[in-house]
């Protein structure tokens, strides 16, 4: 009997060894996440597991085989594929088999796994790359497609990532909206069939939908509980997320470039590299997922992500197009007296034959308007230097007004249909960045300004139109490449700018939050989330973007939108992000101006906590009455709590708000700050000392029953 077991054991071992050799497990893992693939007996690659890290490698053998990892069109799968190619002989199928994989260390705590798949029938190859950021628990995925057929193959679909799930229920949170109404969060239960979140706008690609999502499993996740996958695509163009539930209630999530009108001819021997898809998987809710993204982005992704950010005074809402040199010189002085780091000159400073006095003309003619600026930008740069503030300037170099000298000279550079009337979005058209000559020109806009005025410290790079009238003179018979080549051309330009001006700060702006993705943020230091600066709306918009982006990149300006809200309320909202002002300071009362000056000082003191600390969202504005969030420094010594009463209900029972992220064993002093001169804190706990434990379990009475009331509370360890 014992012998029989012994032999059985030996046999099993041999079988398992053979199994393991022939059908390896490929494990992509971070400190807390495992993504496990295995090769099936049919030689294909299967995703067996994605979730909380599996700690014992011996358990892998118990995993179900799972679903084929990177499903292809034309075989036996009945749902949306990751890959669809057309071979030279007209055959539209692909069958990918595992060939090999390798794991390389890129830097301390960052490993790359590359899985190589090939079709035995056709010389095509797919390499799936995973870069795992261990400590941050973020995984980046992209795919390389290449072939050695005689002529180009046609890529119909080419996903960056395909992930599979087998859970009871799937809840999708998307971030959609419109101009001045960005990143609204809405949650849907996914049932059988397909849900797509995508963009077909070309440029200004995120005007209606942001390129990120949250996917909760079994039940909707909360800030501190529940399983949730948060994913985002780094692509500043048409993207598509497909969520498809099949007849077995399995879910596939396909992320990548939107293949809409984008068939791609891939020449033999060339590599088609998809954009990066980034994701994290948390078992402790959305708050943890956000903090992972914030840390990872500051460390690995955002341009100068470790550096601080400049506060600023912008003239857009103070003047619109109506300014001259004198007005700007006095605004520079205002910036100085406000105590901000920079003055930012917005739209309207250029164009002579077609002066930019409104949004109807002038884009493309990047010479200073001689009437408005007789001494050029140089005079402003000089003045700013004398006042000890930095100088920044607005550009929109990818665009052209039909009323411009550039349009007259270079119609061939414009994306438009030569045989049809032009359709304009904001009276403008998009330049054809697939054309290298246009790329040189766009690079030259920045380079030219920087060469003439090396004192420029910042660009606000706007993009106010989607691609309309889509046709490229340059691409000739490859029109379906335009959406993709446009974005590649844009990156070529940005790459050159970053290489030549590594310290230059740039704001990614697109008529508000029309461009908000992590690939663009490799070249920009921050972005403009929305033209809507009504502080109430901003509470929602900033709450939405904060799910994926750190406050360091969320520009938040104090403006005149919604004057029902006090200057304090408006400033407190803006202090949750990268603070700026876009307001005529002279329309404020003396007391309000003084408040703004002290608010800048206060912000500078708290900036490292707000921009580099951990964000804990405490009360969602989606409840509408009140909202609160806090930032905690990495050592848990200092925190800043923001609380807002939006529209309290009559007779409402106000409950304390439990803080988060503190050390339960430390003692903290609670102090309300940023008060208007002469007003006293009404916070009952003001000035008192509490343990972290108390603050996180009993909480603070942060909310009031006053409409549009706000407070900022500093928490400091003794």
Using CB under 6 A, which of the segments 52-60, 364-372, 509-517, 606-614 binds ligand DGJ?
509-517
- Residue 485 is a binding residue for ligand DGJ (CB under 6 A): no
Using CB under 6 A, which of the segments 23-31, 504-512, 615-623, 634-642 binds ligand DGJ?
504-512
Least Å distance between CB 262 and ligand DGJ? 27
Residue from 497, 509, 579, 640 touching ligand DGJ (CB under 6 A): that is 509
- Residue 171 is a binding residue for ligand DGJ (CB under 6 A): no
Residue from 305, 511, 529, 621 touching ligand DGJ (CB under 6 A): that is 511
| Contacts (CB under 6 A) with ligand DGJ, residues 359-398 | 359, 394
**Distance of alpha carbon 496 from alpha carbon 618, whole angstroms:** 42
Using CB under 6 A, which of the segments 186-194, 219-227, 508-516, 692-700 binds ligand DGJ?
508-516
Question: How many residues at the interface with ligand DGJ, by CB under 6 A?
Answer: 12
| Contacts (CB under 6 A) with ligand DGJ, residues 413-472 | 462, 464
Please provide the DSSP assignment of 365-418 as one string: --SB-TTT-TTHHHHHHHHHHHHT-EEEEEE-TTEE-SSSHHHHH-GGGB-S-T
Q: Which is nearer to ligand DGJ, 512 or 661 (CB)?
A: 512
Least Å distance between CB 560 and ligand DGJ? 14
Residues in CB range of 591: below 8 A, 6 or more apart: 676, 677
Element (H, E) at 21: helix 2-22
Phi-psi bin for 66: left (phi > 0), alpha (psi -120 to 50), beta?
left
What radius of gyration do the chain's Cα atoms show? 27
Least Å distance between CB 556 and ligand DGJ? 13
Q: Which is nearer to ligand DGJ, 165 or 561 (CB)?
A: 561
DSSP code at position 472: -
List, in sequence order, the alpha helices (H) in 429-525: 436-452, 482-500
- Residue 644 is a binding residue for ligand DGJ (CB under 6 A): no
**Distance of alpha carbon 576 from alpha carbon 550, whole angstroms:** 10
Q: Which is nearer to ligand DGJ, 479 or 562 (CB)?
A: 562
List, in sequence order, the alpha helices (H) in 435-574: 436-452, 482-500, 535-545, 567-574
Binding mask of the shown chain, residues 298 to 327, with x at each position contacting ligand DGJ by CB under 6 A: ------------------x-----------
Q: Which is nearer to ligand DGJ, 66 or 529 (CB)?
A: 529
Q: Which is nearer to ligand DGJ, 359 or 663 (CB)?
A: 359
- Residue 347 is a binding residue for ligand DGJ (CB under 6 A): yes
Using CB under 6 A, which of the segments 59-67, 265-273, 374-382, 507-515 binds ligand DGJ?
507-515
Backbone phi and psi for residue 502, each to the nearest 5 degrees, phi listed first: -60, -25
**Distance of alpha carbon 175 from alpha carbon 194, whole angstroms:** 17
- Residue 346 is a binding residue for ligand DGJ (CB under 6 A): yes
Please provide the DSSP assignment of 282-340 as one string: ESBHHHHHHHHHHHHIIIIISTTTTS----EEE-HHHHTT---HHHHHHHHHHHHHHT-
Least Å distance between CB 205 and ligand DGJ? 15
Tokens of 561: 């939108």
**Distance of alpha carbon 30 from alpha carbon 26, whole angstroms:** 13
Least Å distance between CB 394 and ligand DGJ? 6
Residue that is written with structure tokens 């930095």 in the block: 390
Q: Which is nearer to ligand DGJ, 462 or 534 (CB)?
A: 462
* Termini Cα distance of the chain: 70
Residue from 351, 512, 577, 661 touching ligand DGJ (CB under 6 A): that is 512
- Residue 354 is a binding residue for ligand DGJ (CB under 6 A): no
Other C-beta atoms closer than 10 Å to the C-beta of 55 total 8
The CB-nearest residue to ligand DGJ is: 347
- Residue 528 is a binding residue for ligand DGJ (CB under 6 A): yes
| Chain residues in the site for ligand DGJ (CB under 6 A) | 316, 346-347, 359, 394, 462, 464, 509, 511-512, 528, 531
């Amino acid at each position: 009997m014992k012998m029989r077991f012994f032999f059985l054991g030996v046999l099993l071992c041999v079988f398992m060894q053979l199994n393991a050799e022939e059908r390896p497990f490929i494990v992509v893992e971070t400190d807390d996440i495992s993504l496990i693939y295995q090769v099936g007996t049919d030689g294909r690659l299967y995703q067996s597991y994605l979730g909380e890290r599996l700690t014992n490698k011996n358990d892998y053998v118990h995993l179900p085989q799972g679903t084929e990892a990177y499903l292809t069109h034309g075989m036996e799968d009945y749902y949306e594929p990751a890959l669809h190619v057309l071979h030279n002989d007209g055959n539209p199928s692909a069958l990918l088999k595992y060939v090999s994989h390798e794991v390389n260390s890129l830097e301390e705590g960052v490993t790359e796994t590359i899985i190589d798949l090939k079709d035995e029938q056709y010389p095509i190859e797919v390499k799936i790359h995973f870069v795992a950021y261990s400590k941050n628990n973020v995984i980046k995925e992209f795919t390389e497609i290449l072939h050695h057929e005689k002529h180009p193959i046609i890529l119909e679909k080419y996903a960056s990532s395909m992930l599979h799930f087998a859970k009871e229920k799937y809840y999708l949170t998307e971030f959609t909206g419109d101009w001045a109404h960005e990143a609204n969060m809405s949650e849907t239960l996914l049932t059988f069939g397909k849900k797509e979140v995508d963009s077909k706008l070309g440029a200004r690609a995120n005007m209606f939908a942001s390129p990120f999502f949250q996917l909760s499993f079994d039940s909707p996740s909360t800030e501190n509980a529940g399983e949730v996958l948060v994913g985002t695509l780094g692509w500043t163009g048409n993207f598509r997320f497909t969520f498809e539930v099949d007849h077995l209630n399995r879910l596939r999530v396909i992320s990548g470039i939107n293949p809409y009108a984008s068939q791609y001819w891939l020449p033999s021997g060339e590599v088609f590299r998809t954009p990066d898809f980034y994701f994290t998987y948390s078992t402790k809710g959305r708050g943890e997922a956000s903090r992972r993204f914030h840390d990872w982005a500051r460390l690995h992704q955002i341009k100068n992500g470790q550096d601080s950010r400049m506060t600023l005074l912008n003239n857009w809402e103070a003047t619109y197009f109506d300014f001259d040199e004198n007005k700007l010189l006095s605004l520079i002085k205002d910036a100085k007296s406000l105590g901000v780091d920079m003055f930012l000159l917005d739209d309207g400073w250029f164009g002579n034959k077609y002066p930019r006095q409104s949004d109807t003309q002038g884009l493309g003619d990047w010479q200073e308007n001689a009437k408005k600026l007789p001494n050029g930008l140089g005079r402003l740069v000089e003045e700013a230097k004398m006042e000890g503030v930095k100088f920044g300037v607005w550009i929109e170099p990818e665009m052209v007004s039909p009323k411009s000298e550039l349009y007259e000279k270079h119609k061939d550079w414009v994306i438009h249909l030569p045989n049809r009337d032009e359709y304009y979005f904001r009276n403008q058209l998009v330049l054809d960045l697939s054309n290298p000559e246009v790329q040189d020109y766009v690079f030259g806009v920045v380079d030219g300004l920087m060469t003439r005025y090396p004192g420029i410290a910042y660009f606000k790079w706007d993009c106010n139109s989607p691609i309309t009238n889509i046709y490229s003179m340059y691409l000739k018979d490859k029109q379906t490449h335009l959406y993709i080549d446009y974005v590649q051309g844009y990156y070529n330009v940005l790459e050159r700018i970053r290489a030549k001006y590594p310290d230059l700060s740039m704001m990614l702006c697109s008529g508000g939050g029309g461009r908000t993705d992590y690939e663009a943020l490799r070249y920009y230091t921050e972005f403009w989330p929305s033209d809507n600066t009504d502080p109430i709306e901003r509470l929602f918009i900033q709450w939405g973007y904060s799910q994926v982006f750190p406050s360091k990149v969320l520009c938040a300006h104090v403006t005149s939108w919604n004057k029902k809200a006090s200057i304090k309320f408006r400033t407190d909202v803006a202090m949750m992000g990268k603070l700026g002002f876009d307001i005529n300071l002279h329309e404020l009362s003396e007391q309000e101006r003084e408040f703004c000056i002290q608010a800048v000082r206060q912000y500078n003191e708290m900036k490292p906590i707000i921009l580099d600390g951990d964000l804990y969202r405490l009360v969602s504005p989606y409840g509408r009455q009140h909202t609160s969030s806090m930032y905690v420094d990495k050592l848990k010594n200092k925190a800043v709590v923001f609380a807002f009463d939006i529209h309290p209900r009559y007779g409402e029972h106000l409950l304390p708000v439990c803080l988060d992220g503190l050390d339960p064993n430390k003692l903290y002093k609670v102090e309300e700050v940023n008060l208007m001169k002469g007003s006293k804190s009404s916070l009952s706990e003001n000035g008192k000392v509490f343990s972290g434990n108390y603050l996180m379990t009993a909480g603070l009475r942060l909310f009031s029953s006053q409409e549009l009331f706000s407070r900022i509370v500093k928490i400091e360890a003794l």
